[in-house]
Structure 1
Amino acid sequence: MESFFQGRSATRSSWNYESLKNFRQISPRVQNHLKLVYLTLCCALGASAVGVYLHILMNIGGFLTFLGCSVGIIWLCTTPPYNERKRFGVLMATALLEGATLGPLIQLVLDFEPSILVSAFVGTALAFGCFSGAAIIAKRREFLYLGGLLSSGLAILFWLRFASAIFGQATAMFNVELYFGLLLFLGYVVFDTQEIIERAHLGDLDYVKHALTLFTDFVAIVVRILIIMMKNASEKSDDEKKRKRRS
């Protein structure tokens, strides 16, 4: 028992500022690959923001942009990395179409309360950075076991959606899907980051495909945070209106 507590205290003491700068377990080649991945991710997020802006100006978001985005994702996932420039261009186009597809939701948020959009994006960026950073500084392969659990969770989420489509979506079921999906994709950030590191160690340096993986995680998180924040703000506004009527 004493050795157990000694081990726990030693683990805590090892987490300090120096441990945050310890990338010795990641080779320089993999570190450069991660820089490319996150730089490409930032470019994809910028392209997605352009897609949102184009929807606000021209109302282009809808089924066609969703279909084009899906085709782009499938193409990037199934083609070998023989032409990086072409694949990078396809990723930017896919991200732009994804932003246009999310345009109606963003427009709804802007019409309701614009500050929610800023808060949701900042919150998503902080959560994404923390979970992805934790995966980077953790021991190699430490979180890869989450793959089976996350796959099971994704299957559960799919069947919950399927049941809601057939039997109707109750408020409780909607809340379960929303919060469970948020936790699920936060877990995927950790898992995907470590999987990218391991694949890079094994020679897979397809930074475009890896950036696409993290991009889909980021979008899934920000959408759920937006819906949660807008839902909470709407409920709060309704409660205030009821109080004013009573008074």
Structure 2
Amino acid sequence: MSSAFLNQMSSFWSSPAATAAPWSNIKTTLPRDIHAHVQKVYANLATMLALSAVAAYADLVGIVNGGSWSLLACFACMMVFTFTPPTRSNERLRQYLLYGFSFTKGLSLGPLIAHTLYLNPAIVVKALLGTAMVFGCFTVSVLTSPRRDVIYLRGVMATATMTLAGLSLVNAFMGSAALFSVELYFGLLVFAGFVVYDTQLMIAKAEMGNRDYLGHSMEL
């Protein structure tokens, strides 16, 4: 009996499945042209995040002070970008608007980050790592999945968003710690759901011929 057990353990550890790296089987199911479009979107999204980080740092050290003006400028860039058609002649303008939106967004977040650093610097690090982990994991799950059925859950996601907004409004008057916890973790689930939904929607649009990588970056 012991020899049989040892033989089974030996065959298990010597099997190809055990010796292969677990991430070696992770492959996208996207066609080559869609894969190139997704790479372009995420490269542009990384640039946007870098600009927001630089702007937030500039506000923290006092180089440029954000506030109401940066919030209005952020909203203006977003609205003009939304109503500018994605044509070849407008690509440079839309790119500047997108990067302007990212920079002013970072300036607007600067005061909030400064207040958080004053309370507890670890909160910023945890928020950054947690957001990156959730966004990265759920994005990889979409890119490696052949199914696109989550894009039909738009009504569910909209209902969840309205529910979250209602909870926030109610708790603004109640001040309940328990309701705040429900709102916090429910918001995390909604955020994860939108990561999956928006990524699948971007891929579905690309498969139908929409290669507006700037618009897709804004949606993400």
TM above 0.5, yes or no, is: yes
Match of 2:141 among 116, 134, 137: 134
TM-score (norm 2): 0.81
Deviation digits for residues 125-150 of structure 1 (CA, Å, limit 9, x no counterpart): 12111001111111231322332211
Q: What letter matches 1:69 in structure 2?
A: C
On the 8 A contact 1:135/1:143 being kept in 2, the answer is no
Counterparts in 2 of 1:17 and 1:53: CA distance versus 1, 3 Å? closer
What corresponds to 1:33 in structure 2? Answer: 37
Amino acid at match of 2:41: V
Letter in 1 for 2:156: L
Counterpart check, 1:87 vs 2:94: yes
1:146 aligns with 2:153: yes
For structure 1, which runs of at least 5 residues remain unmatched after alignment? 1-15, 215-247
RMSD (Å), alpha carbons: 1.9
- Aligned partners of 2:126 and 2:191: how far apart in 1? 19
Matched, 1:75 2:85: no
Moved more, 97-106 or 184-193: 97-106
The answer to whether structure 1 residue 160 and structure 2 residue 164 are counterparts is no
String of CA shifts for 1:51-110, please: whole Å, max 9, x gaps: 101211336222222222122222222321122221111111111111111111211222
Cα drift, residue 153 of structure 1: 0.3
Partner in structure 2 of residue 192 of structure 1:
198
1:36 Cα shift?
0.7
Distance 2:77 2:208 in 1: 26
Larger Rg: 1 or 2? 2
| Alpha-carbon separation, structure 1, partners of 2:189 and 2:138 | 11
Give the alignment's TM-score, normalised by structure 1.
Answer: 0.73
Identify the match of residue 180 of structure 1 among 186, 192, 196: 186
Residue 107 (structure 1) aligned to one of 92, 111, 114: 114
Aligned counterpart, 1:123 = 130
Say if 1:37 and 1:211, in contact at 8 Å, map to a contact too. Answer: yes
- One-letter amino acid of the structure 2 residue matched with residue 116 of structure 1: I
- Count of aligned residue pairs for this structure pair: 196
Shift of the 177–71 alpha-carbon distance from structure 1 to 2, 3 Å rule, reads farther
Letter of the structure 1 residue corresponding to residue 157 of structure 2: L
For each residue in 1:192-218, what CA deviation from the matched residue of structure 2 results, as whole angstroms up to 9, or x when unmatched? 00000000011111111111121xxxx
Identity %: 37
